[in-house]
Structure 1
Amino acid sequence: MFKTVVMNKDLPPLVSVVMCTYNGEKYIDEQITSILQQRYENFELIVADDRSTDNTWSKLLYWQQQHPEKIKLFQNAVNLGYNKNFESAIQKASGDFIALSDQDDIWLPEKITAQMAAFSDDTIVLVHNKSVRLEGSSLNYKKAALQHHFSGNRTRKFFFFNHIMGHDMIFRRSLVQYIVPIPDKMSYDWWISVVATCLGSVVSVGSFLVHHRIHESNNFFSSQAASKKKELDLYETLRLFSAIPALRKEDAHYLAELIPLLEQQSVTSDKPAFNWKLFRFLLKHSKDIFGHKRRLLPALSYLKNAIKYSKMSFKGRGISI
């Protein structure tokens, strides 16, 4: 299914680092510097700007002038939004592997090298690493320590929650034909992760290789961010997952049972009655659904969350714990 890429120490595979920008002038210099300082030398940096209205584009032009052999710039004719911008930019990559980049993080010098070393066989289609929150000038490892870092191909672990952030991932370019188009309002990294588990295996690199900057205009964490303005109902998200051609039969059956339960919770009222059928389903599959975080008493946590979400409306929202 996927093209075999021969690893050669003298000529390693080309990696396309794909960065999408929009009004990122404050941190863009630091991020580009960290990418250009990667120990893995055979890479290109593709930057797609989504009609920035600040000095981002002029800064990008400067960087391209300094490194014309490394940096390729594109500017959209109209503002696409971060999801469609990534979709478009990914298709401009020419490397055998594609690494996604935010505009405001900091990559450690060994990021690409460590990720590429994890592609040990052709069944591995996506690799991701750990990242640590950069809050102001301080690194906060606390939240990262609570996460189980995903490896394998158990797709259903992604049905309620995404485990892989875009800035942590690198994947084979041959995956692109299966991930585009990215559905409207779907988080691009969640979609890529789910499709990847349907087609092969995912490997986690256990090292912290990205300083993930948290700030007021961040696309994910800001209360005004685009990612917060339009959101699929969880059951609508699962409908999209259920239509993936490569979805395994057992996962398709799983979704065929789950989706009607969530749809009932979404269309009844803002405060639906306790749904016993949904409760039994959540409790039965609680390790897959709620097992992405480390808990002192996992069984108790699973029970509490099964109760919580069995009486909650999913209208216009996903879930969080």
Structure 2
Amino acid sequence: MSEQGLLQVLLSTYNGEKYISEQLNSILSQPYQPIQILIRDDGSSDNTLLIIKQYQQDHPGRIHLIQGKNIGVVPSFWTLMQHADLSADYFCFCDQDDVWMPHKAQRSVQLLSEMEKENNLILDSHANNKIRHNPFEKNIPAMVCTDTQLTDGDLNPTAIWPGMPHLKPSFYNALIQNIAVGATVTFNRATLQLLMKKNVNISDIQMHDWWAYLVVSCFGKFHFEHTPSIYYRQHGGNAVGGEWTILQKIKKKWNSFLKHKGNKNLLVQQAKEFKRLYSNDIVDPEMLVQLDLFIEPRKNIISRIGYLRKSKLYRQSLMEQLLFRFLILVGYI
């Protein structure tokens, strides 16, 4: 068998004693090898750390642990990326309460490898014609995410979520919507380097997986795989959960509105941070035009209508797109 690249799993834990063993077992039993696991514990007060340390003893050299204070989901995953092993070829975000399907690692790495090889063939062709490209293209940032098999707390299947995107994933989608379920995300070393080369204000980004989708959609390759790769457990402790009925979707949107109604323009805030860090690197002029248009203040209904006429941004469903347009018109975004 040919040598395979090292896959490092970035796993954040917090009071996960109930489910962490099942997740670690599903990762360690993957047919794909080599796999290492980097865990950052976000200040657990239960037996999570004891369980992890036992796994470290049982699997020497395969699990590394960072013990930390409670700082929250996004900062915890960001710390994991900062401490990731740059000798690894591929990386996965991972949640403590899910279970990986046996094909997850192998299929994700296969897709990323194919994306990288395809890019190298294009580069060779363009080099002969002396065509200028994206500044990050020599080692193209590449990212894969998948559907999930939603389950109840006992891993009984309920539904496939979120479903194949109706429209093509792109920068124009990523500015206003995240379709990357973090627990399914796998990316290559070039992506990690691109994410870590800038000093990001963590408080200005929505989620670590959304930020990765935004950056990769601008500078690299993004692929959504319709086949689920994890059993995505739904229970009261989920930091972010899935929804599959219309009622659940409406309820989730309304709860999000109530949660953030005192802090409008979170999407614009994230876009501003992206522009601050990456505007000088953007090759496609239309991307920069759309980024600037989205960030530009819209103080009255006339300016908001004018913006919608020029905007190329889109969400994945008609309902979501109508909601986006409504929130623009009322000045919420």
- TM-score normalised by the chain length of structure 1: 0.78
Distance change >3 Å, CA 103–CA 142, structure 1 → 2: closer
Shift of 1:102: 0.7
One-letter amino acid of the structure 2 residue matched with residue 20 of structure 1: S
Counterpart mapping for 1:74-223 below 5 A? 74-76=66-68, 78-94=69-85, 95-119=88-112, 120-122=114-116, 123=119, 125-137=142-154, 138-141=156-159, 143-145=161-163, 147-148=165-166, 151=169, 154-180=170-196, 181-185=199-203, 186=205, 187-221=207-241
Shift of 1:96: 1.1
In the alignment, is the contact (CA less than 8 A) between 2:12 and 2:42 conserved in 1?
yes
The one of 290, 294, 302 equivalent to 1:254 is 290
One-letter amino acid of the structure 2 residue matched with residue 84 of structure 1: P
In structure 1, how many angstroms separate the alpha carbons of the residues matched to 2:320 and 2:22? 41
Higher-helix-fraction structure: 2
Structure 2: where are the runs of 5+ without partners? Answer: 120-139, 243-251
In structure 1, how many angstroms separate the alpha carbons of the residues matched to 2:44 and 2:267? 31
In the alignment, is the contact (CA less than 8 A) between 1:17 and 1:45 conserved in 2?
yes
Distance change >3 Å, CA 139–CA 183, structure 1 → 2: farther
In the alignment, is the contact (CA less than 8 A) between 1:126 and 1:196 conserved in 2?
yes
Shift of 1:74: 1.5
In structure 1, how many angstroms separate the alpha carbons of the residues matched to 2:311 and 2:152? 35
SS of the equivalent of 1:18 reads strand
Structure 1: where are the runs of 5+ without partners? Answer: 1-8, 265-272
The one of 327, 330, 333 equivalent to 1:309 is 327
In structure 2, how many angstroms separate the alpha carbons of the residues matched to 1:182 and 1:258? 20
In the alignment, is the contact (CA less than 8 A) between 1:20 and 1:102 conserved in 2?
yes
Number of paired residues? 284
In structure 1, how many angstroms separate the alpha carbons of the residues matched to 2:54 and 2:174? 40
Q: What fraction of aligned residue pairs are identical, expressed as a percent?
A: 24
The one of 235, 238, 243 equivalent to 2:276 is 243
In the alignment, is the contact (CA less than 8 A) between 1:283 and 1:303 conserved in 2?
no
Partner of 2:314: 289
Shift of 1:79: 2.6
Counterpart mapping for 1:229-240 below 5 A? 233-240=266-273
Quote the RMSD (CA, aligned, Å).
2.9
In structure 1, how many angstroms separate the alpha carbons of the residues matched to 2:22 and 2:225? 24
Shift of 1:193: 1.2
SS of the equivalent of 1:207 reads coil
In structure 1, how many angstroms separate the alpha carbons of the residues matched to 2:167 and 2:159? 14
In the alignment, is the contact (CA less than 8 A) between 1:129 and 1:207 conserved in 2?
yes
